[in-house]
């Protein structure tokens, strides 16, 4: 009898008539997959995080089993490295060199340490490290502190999760060599990031070229020659609470004096770390406690009530609007999750929710006007000294304010790493809800000090029976209607952004929306005092302007539209500006389709 069981049919099928499964032949990984698998296994061997070790082991097993999606995922993680640039690091939390994780962060800390030691030989550099409430922020901060201390650097960890502006303040207040903030600001929940500030001659601003490239080179050297498990770790210090107290007092001082009258205010922290610090600042400045959006007031890394934790995104402020209707608020104040940005909303009978969020340009222009008036008042003779600054994609209205008050004006590349470096700075902003109102203490955008400044402005208006909406009309009457808009083209294929930029350069438009183009400035090779940047600046007849650039932090092409109208009443100026803006938007959507 053969080895076949006597009860089995002669055709080899099983007793129930089914055909037994043929054992799967193990897939043979391609040469590229085999190379990546080896890299992944080496990565796992030095990864101190059990979660990402298991994640990567599982991914490797799927690749070995022939899973094409897993192969593509592994390639994305290991065929490139998360770039360290002027925004530091930012990306999704996961295993591999093209993700945010404990291996990458430890390598970054070691590279920064090597840069600081090389920059000041024979000294003991110092670094202060802060972190917000995002997933792994505290772990990444502690890893950084230990690795820096192990390299012989004085490492100081902030006492608990705190807003980014507190870390920026700490760099100057403690007079350290550098600062690290672990945050991804308003990115999606599973992202995290790593901002670096420099002290000394950089005065606590974020890194710019060539420091970013020098740090990146040191990080690459660490990754190529050392295992994270071999990096020495040391003891770090924990900052005293007096540091936070100093920030609170310095920021409260921005109000200048006790508010004479106060509008009813609603506040949201957008599930971030802003409220604990902001509440102390508002109390110290003499403001009443605002009504809170309770569901968003405590830090929560999952950001459960918003699809995207950015006050600019549709729906992000819906709970704030609901709370404002409930209490009859005259003003809504929102910080983003790490509290370096500020959003303001005011009552609007024409809005579906009864409120509308002001644009970043509207808030920036009102705060810039306040800063200019304040500077003039302090001199006593109406003259003033200093500069106002904004990024090149922000409203040209700030330049009009500077001219009216005989102040210098600086237009910088995008990012507060550039705005904060404007000489004799009084105030700086960018349209993405970032405002620098106290350059003497913080050289970065600060959503808490900006909130104090705006609440102070609103209180002054309230005391004379005026509203923020009234003040916006007063601005239009004095400086013209500076209206702005933005198109964000989100892509899944990054090559599409490059293709659109290349097409606009090769075939520059002669008109947009029927409005004649007067000139185009290509900043790719630099322009004037501006460093090279992938930006097109298009000037049109009548004073309008269009800026086109890839986003520095997200897979988006961003188009910024700015128009101005000086003729007629306030209502007529608004209507004319709105019409021009609509024409430009339609035209640019065609050009970027």
- Residue 203 gets the label, from left (phi > 0), alpha (psi -120 to 50) or beta, of left
Alpha-carbon dihedral angle through residues 577, 578, 579, 585, given to the nearest 10 degrees: 110
The answer to whether residues 482 and 395 touch, using CB atoms and an 8 Å cutoff, is yes
Question: CB within 8 A of 465, min separation 6: which ones?
Answer: none
Burial string for 443-477 (b: 16+ CB within 10 Å, else e) reads bbbbbbbbbbbbbbbbbbbbeeeebbeebbbebbe
Integer Cα distance of 74 and 39 in angstroms: 10
- Strand stretches in 232-352, DSSP E: 237-238, 265-268, 291-292, 331-335, 342-347
The answer to whether residues 178 and 260 touch, using CB atoms and an 8 Å cutoff, is no
Integer Cα distance of 212 and 7 in angstroms: 74
Question: CB within 8 A of 466, min separation 6: which ones?
Answer: none
Q: Examine the residue annotation and report whether 420 is marked as an active-site residue of this protein.
A: no
Integer Cα distance of 80 and 97 in angstroms: 7
Which among 442, 396, 374, 420 is positioned nearest to 428, based on CA atoms? 420
- Strand stretches in 242-288, DSSP E: 265-268
DSSP state of 8: S
The answer to whether residues 98 and 80 touch, using CB atoms and an 8 Å cutoff, is yes
Integer Cα distance of 582 and 585 in angstroms: 5
Which among 77, 139, 79 is positioned nearest to 109, based on CA atoms? 139
Catalytic-role residue among 126, 185, 384, 533: 185
**What are phi and psi for residue 331, nearest 5 degrees?**
-155, 140
Which among 532, 513, 500 is positioned nearest to 580, based on CA atoms? 513
Q: Which residues are identified as catalytic?
A: 185
């Amino acid at each position: 009898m053969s080895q076949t069981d006597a009860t089995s049919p002669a055709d080899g099928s099983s007793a129930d008539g089914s055909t037994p499964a043929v054992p799967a032949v193990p897939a043979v990984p391609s040469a590229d997959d085999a190379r990546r698998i080896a890299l992944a296994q080496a990565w796992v061997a030095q990864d101190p995080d059990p979660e990402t070790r298991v994640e990567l082991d599982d991914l490797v097993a799927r690749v070995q089993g022939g899973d094409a999606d897993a192969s593509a995922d592994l390639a994305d993680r290991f065929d490139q490295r998360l770039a360290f640039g002027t925004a530091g690091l930012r990306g999704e939390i996961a295993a591999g060199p093209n993700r945010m994780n404990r291996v990458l962060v430890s390598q970054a800390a070691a590279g920064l340490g090597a840069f600081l030691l090389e920059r000041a030989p024979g000294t003991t550099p110092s670094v202060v490290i802060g972190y917000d409430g995002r997933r792994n922020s505290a772990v990444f901060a502690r890893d950084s502190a230990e690795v820096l201390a192990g390299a012989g650097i004085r490492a100081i960890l902030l006492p608990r999760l705190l807003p980014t502006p507190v870390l920026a303040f700490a760099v100057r207040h403690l007079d350290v060599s550098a600062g690290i903030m672990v945050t991804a600001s308003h990115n999606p929940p599973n992202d995290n990031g790593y901002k670096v500030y420099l002290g000394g001659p950089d005065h606590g601003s974020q890194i710019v070229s060539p420091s970013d490239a020098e740090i990146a080179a040191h990080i690459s050297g660490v990754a190529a020659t050392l295992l994270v498990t071999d990096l020495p770790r040391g003891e770090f210090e924990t900052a005293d609470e007096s540091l936070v107290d100093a920030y609170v007092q310095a920021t409260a001082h921005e109000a200048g004096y006790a508010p004479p009258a106060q509008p009813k205010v609603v506040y949201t922290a957008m599930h971030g770390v802003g409220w604990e610090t902001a509440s102390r600042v508002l109390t110290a400045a003499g403001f009443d406690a605002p009504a809170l959006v309770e569901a968003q007031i405590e830090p929560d890394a999952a950001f459960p009530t918003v699809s995207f934790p950015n006050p600019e995104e549709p729906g992000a402020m819906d709970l704030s609007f609901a709370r404002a209707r409930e209490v009859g608020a005259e003003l809504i104040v929102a910080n983003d999750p790490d509290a370096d940005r500020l959003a303001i909303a005011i009552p609007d009978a024409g809005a579906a929710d009864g409120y509308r969020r002001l644009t970043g340009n509207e808030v920036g222009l009102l705060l810039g006007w306040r800063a200019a008036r304040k500077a003039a008042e302090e001199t006593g003779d109406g003259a003033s000294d200093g500069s106002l600054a904004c990024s090149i994609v922000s409203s040209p209205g700030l330049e009009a304010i500077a001219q009216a008050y005989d102040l210098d004006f600086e237009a910088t590349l995008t990012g507060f790493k550039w705005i904060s470096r404007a000489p004799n700075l009084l105030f700086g902003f960018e349209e993405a809800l970032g405002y620098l109102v106290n350059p003497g203490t913080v050289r970065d955008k600060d959503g808490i000090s900006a909130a104090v400044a705006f609440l102070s402005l609103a209180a002054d208006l309230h005391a004379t029976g005026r509203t923020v909406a009234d003040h916006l009309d007063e601005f239009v009457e004095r400086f013209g209607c500076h209206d702005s808009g933005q198109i964000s083209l989100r892509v899944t294929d990054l090559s599409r952004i490059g293709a659109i930029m290349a097409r606009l350069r090769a075939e520059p438009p002669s008109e947009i929306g029927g409005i004649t183009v007067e000139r185009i400035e290509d900043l790719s090779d630099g322009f004037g005092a501006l460093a090279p940047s992938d930006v097109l600046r298009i000037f049109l007849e009548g004073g309008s302007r269009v800026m086109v650039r890839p986003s520095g932090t997200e897979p988006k092409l961003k188009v910024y539209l700015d128009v101005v109208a000086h003729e007629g009443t306030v209502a007529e100026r608004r209507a004319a500006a709105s019409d021009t803006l609509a024409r430009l938007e339609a035209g640019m959507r065609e050009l970027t389709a």
